[in-house]
Amino acid sequence: MAFTEFRPLNEKSLIEYIKSVPTLSSKLANNFDDITIKEVGDGNLNFVFIVSNSSGSFVIKQALPYVRCIGESWPMTKERAYFESVALKEEGRLIPEHVPEVYHFDRTMSLIGMRYIEPPHIILRKGLIAGVEYPFLALHISDFLANTLFFTSLLFRSTTDHKRDVAEFCGNVELCRLTEQVVFSDPYKVSEYNRWTSPYLDGDAEAVRADNLLKLEVAELKSKFIERAQALIHGDLHTGSVMVTPESTQVIDPEFAFYGPMGFDIGAFLGNLILAFFAQDGHATEANDRKAYKEWILKTIEDTWNLFHQKFIALWNEHKNGAGEAYLPGIYNNSEVLLLVQKKYITDLFHDSIGFGAAKMIRRIVGVAHVEDLESITDAAKRAASERRALDLAKTLLKERRKYEGISDIIATIRQF
C-alpha cells in the first residue's frame, strides 16, 4: 500500500503505514502479531494513536485538514504537523528531559512518530482536577520555559540566525490566525463559536463585549502577539499540553509554535493554573474541601515565575558576552547598565505574561474552547460561580497588569476574588 498522498489513517491502515517505515517498524522489532493500536486523541485538532507490542511502543500523531472538534466546516492546514515536528526537535535539543523524542516525520501524511510517554503519566489538567500535587512541576516547567525562550531569543542568537528561523515559522500563519481569532477577537464580539454557562453568565459575556477599556488593552496584546518575534514559543502551553507524574514533566503538542512574545507561553501556563484554582471549589467534597490544594496551586504559580526569573537571568549572565545581538557587550559593558536592562526586560515580560494569561482565561470562559477543570463541575450554578470569579479576576489583571510589581502581588489579588 503506497502512501504518496495524504489520507487520514485508521487502525488498519496505520499498521500498513508502519510496515512501510523502517524507523517505526524497528521500534516494534518488526513484529506485528501482538500489536495494539488505540486512538486517544481527545484534543480539538488531531488523531493520536498509541502503538505498542511486547517489544516497544510509540505515538503517531496525524494532523487533519480541519478542526476535529468542529468538523470539516472549519478547515485547518495540515502543515501544522511540520511546524510541530520542527518545534519538538528544537525543544528536544534545548531541554531533552522534558520533551518527547521525534522518531519520524512524514510531511505528505502530516504525521509525526514520537516517544510514547507511558503511564503513570497523565495530562496535568486531569491531575489538577483530581487534586494531585506535583512537587517538581514548577521546577520542571521553569526549566522548560527558561531554556526554550532564552536560547531562541536575540539575547543568545545573532539577528541573521534569528530572522532565518522567524521566516521559517511565519509559515505557521493559519494556527497563529486561529489564536488571534479565539483569544483576542471572538470573546469581545458576537461570534457563532462563543459559548458560556447560560443563563448564569449571559450578563457577564455581554459585559466583556461592552468593556471599552478591556478592548483597548486586548488590542495591545493582540498587536504584540502578531508583531513581536521575541523567541520560539510553544504557542499553546496550557495544562492540557503537559503530561506529568509526581517526578516527571513532559511538554507536548507544540503545533501552534512560532516566533512570538515570550509572555504568551508563560501566561498561558499561569493562567490555566489560575483557572484550576477557581475550579477547586466545584470539586470540593465534605471529605476534602480542597483548601490545602488551592494553596499548593498558588505556591506553584509563584514558584514557576520566581524560578523562571532566576534561571532566565542566570542564562543571560552566563552568555552576556556571547553572540546575542540584543544587548551588545561593547555597549552593556558594566554591571550597573546590565542590571538596568535586565530589570526593564523582566518587568515588561512579567506584565506581558499577566496580560496574556488573563486573555487566555477570558477566552476559556466566554469563548469557543473551555477547560475541563470548570466544565467537569456538573452543577451549572456552582460552575458559573467559579467561572465568574475567574472572569472578574482576569478582567482586572488584563486592564491593570502594569501596576503589579511581582508575582506575590498577583497571588494577593487572586485571594481577593
Q: Residue 320 and residue 155: Cα distance in Å, rounded?
A: 8
Secondary structure E strands in 24-152: 36-39, 46-52, 57-63, 66-67, 71-75, 102-106, 111-114, 122-123
Helix (H) or strand (E) segment spanning residue 68? none
Cβ–Cβ < 8 Å for 257, 232: yes
For 382, half-sphere exposure in the C-beta direction (CA atoms, 13 angstrom radius) is 14
Judge if the upstream peptide bond of residue 199 is cis by omega within 30 degrees of 0.
yes
Q: Residue 320 and residue 333: Cα distance in Å, rounded?
A: 9
Q: Which string of b and e fits 190-216 if b means at least 16 CB within 10 Å?
A: ebeebebbeebbeebbeebeebeebee
Q: Residue 170 and residue 149: Cα distance in Å, rounded?
A: 17
pLDDT tens, position by position, for the chain (417 residues)?
Answer: 679 999 999 999 999 999 999 999 999 999 999 999 999 987 667 999 999 999 999 999 999 998 776 778 888 899 999 999 999 999 999 999 999 999 999 999 999 999 999 999 999 999 999 999 999 999 999 999 999 999 999 999 999 999 999 999 999 999 999 999 999 999 999 999 999 999 999 999 999 999 999 999 999 999 999 999 999 999 999 999 999 999 999 999 999 999 999 999 999 999 999 999 999 999 999 999 999 999 999 999 999 999 999 999 999 999 999 999 999 999 999 999 999 999 999 999 999 999 999 999 999 999 999 999 999 999 999 999 999 999 999 999 999 999 999 999 999 999 999
Q: Return the number of other C-beta atoms located less than 10 Å from residue 302's C-beta.
A: 17
> Is the entire prediction scored with pTM above 0.85?
yes
Instruction: Quote the pLDDT of residue 70.
Output: 75
Amino acid at the residue 246: P
Reference 231, options 338, 332, 145; nearest CA is: 145
Task: Provide the 3-class DSSP secondary structure of residue 48.
Answer: strand
Q: Residue 135 and residue 83: Cα distance in Å, rounded?
A: 32
Q: Residue 30 and residue 15: Cα distance in Å, rounded?
A: 11
Instruction: Quote the pLDDT of residue 171.
Output: 97
Task: Provide the 3-class DSSP secondary structure of residue 280.
Answer: helix
Write the CB contacts of 403 (distance below 8 Å, at least 6 apart in sequence).
none
Instruction: Quote the pLDDT of residue 43.
Output: 63
Instruction: Quote the pLDDT of residue 44.
Output: 67
Pairing of strands 66-67, 71-75: antiparallel
Write the CB contacts of 391 (distance below 8 Å, at least 6 apart in sequence).
201, 204, 208, 361, 362, 365, 366
CA torsion angle for 91, 59, 73, 225 (degrees, to 10)? -10
CA torsion angle for 376, 382, 388, 394 (degrees, to 10)? -40
Cβ–Cβ < 8 Å for 305, 270: yes
**Residue 357 burial by CB count (10 A; 0-12/13-18/19+): exposed, middle or buried?**
buried
